[in-house]
């Protein structure tokens, strides 16, 4: 089932699928007030408000009520999970624990545990998906792609796998393939701000590559819509502000672009593109000041 964490003031903060026992965990959540939403076909959507005041660790128990509709068959991943051997499950949990630190050496350790989990039980969808994302964190794109393909062989409607595969294709400049799988993933899970940003970046790349001005204009517009959608889902998404700023600057809306670049620098002051963005911001401010004098 899908569990979402929204800021009380609005905007998606995080999203997770539960494990086979219905358990879920959000990591790196700040002290604040949130709304937790649980969705599962055949059951009434449940919401619960949580206020984290002293510690980001808090346990919730959310009970679902049937909506009276006929129950759907359990998804493939649920059936597979029920058959996971105990030893494979232990390796998976060790892998999850190692990945949680975010440090390279611990991610590498987590990969080893996840590989063992998969070797013990090849149709272990959860482990395959975690392994793929860990490979992406390490920049091992080809290995990550292979792991994602194996996930999709187990369950072709695994949205996270489709969206991650789309990001890999984007980084490999395979724009047509990236667009196709990202659209498939977003059709299944439209609330992924990362997916919308990736698709927006793909449209930007396609627009820059075409020599047809009309086609380029249409693609830039599609890129802008995806950036806006990502920010509607997560207003503090720095990379989406950056893409939107680039698009506004290209449309000669310098003042609006400046606001987006300022937002990016406020959210990501040490981000990958922070230095470049500061240079662009300085040039925009100089140009605007010069215009004002005339």
Mean pLDDT for the stretch of residues 6-24: 65
What pLDDT score was predicted for residue 33? 74
Domain boundary among 29, 52, 68: 68
For 126-137, the pLDDT digits (tens) are 899 999 999 999
Question: Does 202 map to a domain?
Answer: no
What pLDDT score was predicted for residue 18? 66
Q: How far apart are CA 207 and CA 201, in angstroms?
A: 10
What pLDDT score was predicted for residue 73? 38
Count structural domains, the chain: 2
Q: What is the CATH classification number for the domain harbouring 31? A: 2.60.40
What pLDDT score was predicted for residue 83? 78
Q: How far apart are CA 210 and CA 205, in angstroms?
A: 9
Helices (H) and strands (E) in the chain, counts: 12, 4
What pLDDT score was predicted for residue 72? 39
Q: In this structure, what token pair is assigned to residue 52?
A: 């984290």
Question: Does 263 map to a domain?
Answer: yes
Q: Are 175 and 203 in contact (CB under 8 A)?
A: no
Q: Is the pTM of this model over 0.75?
A: no
Residues 6+ apart with CB under 8 A from 289: none
pLDDT surpassing 80 at residue 97: yes
Domain boundary among 49, 68, 87: 68
pLDDT surpassing 50 at residue 93: yes
Q: Are 126 and 19 in contact (CB under 8 A)?
A: yes
Question: Does 170 map to a domain?
Answer: no
Residues 6+ apart with CB under 8 A from 6: 12, 13, 34, 35, 36, 37
What pLDDT score was predicted for residue 30? 72
- Length of the chain in terms of residues written: 294
Question: Does 269 map to a domain?
Answer: yes
pLDDT surpassing 50 at residue 70: no
pLDDT surpassing 70 at residue 74: no
User: Range of 14's domain?
Assistant: 1-68
What pLDDT score was predicted for residue 118? 94
Give, in order, the Cα–Cα distances in Å from 185 to each of 173, 195, 254: 19, 8, 33
Domain boundary among 48, 68, 88: 68
Considering 4-8, 123-127, 206-210, 285-289, the range whose residues carry the highest mean pLDDT is 206-210
Q: How far apart are CA 130 and CA 95, in angstroms?
A: 9
57: phi then psi, degrees, rounded to nearest 5? -95, 120
Question: Does 274 map to a domain?
Answer: yes
Question: Does 49 map to a domain?
Answer: yes
Q: Give the model's confidence band at 38: pLDDT under 50 very low, under 70 low, under 90 confident, else very high.
A: confident
Mean pLDDT of the chain, nearest integer: 85
Question: Does 253 map to a domain?
Answer: yes
Question: Does 100 map to a domain?
Answer: no
Query: H-helix or E-strand containing 223?
Result: helix 213-233
């Amino acid at each position: 089932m899908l569990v979402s964490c929204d800021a009380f003031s609005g905007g998606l903060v995080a999203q997770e699928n539960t494990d086979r026992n219905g358990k879920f965990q959000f990591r790196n959540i700040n002290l604040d007030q949130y709304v937790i939403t649980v969705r599962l076909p055949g059951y009434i959507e449940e919401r619960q408000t949580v206020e984290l005041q002293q510690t980001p660790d808090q346990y919730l128990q959310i009970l679902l009520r049937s909506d009276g509709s006929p129950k759907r068959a359990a998804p493939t991943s649920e059936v597979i999970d029920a058959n996971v051997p105990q030893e494979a499950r232990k390796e998976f949990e060790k892998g999850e624990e190692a990945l949680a630190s975010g440090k390279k050496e611990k991610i590498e350790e987590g990969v080893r545990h996840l590989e063992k989990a998969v070797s013990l039980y090849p149709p272990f969808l959860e482990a395959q998906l975690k392994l793929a994302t860990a490979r992406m964190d390490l920049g091992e794109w080809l290995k990550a792609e292979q792991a994602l393909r194996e996930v999709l062989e187990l369950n072709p409607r695994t949205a996270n796998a489709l969206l991650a595969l789309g990001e890999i294709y984007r980084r490999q400049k395979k724009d047509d393939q990236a667009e196709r799988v990202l659209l498939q993933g977003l059709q299944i899970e439209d609330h992924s701000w990362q997916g919308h940003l990736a698709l927006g970046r793909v449209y930007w790349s396609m627009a820059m590559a075409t020599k047809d001005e009309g086609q380029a204009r249409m693609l830039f517009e599609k890129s802008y819509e995806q950036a806006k959608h990502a920010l509607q889902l997560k207003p503090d998404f720095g990379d989406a502000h950056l893409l939107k700023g680039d698009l506004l600057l290209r449309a000669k809306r310098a003042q609006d672009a400046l606001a987006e670049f300022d937002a990016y620098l406020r959210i990501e002051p040490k981000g990958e593109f922070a230095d470049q963005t500061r240079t662009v911001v300085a040039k925009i401010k100089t140009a605007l000041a010069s215009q004002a004098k005339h």
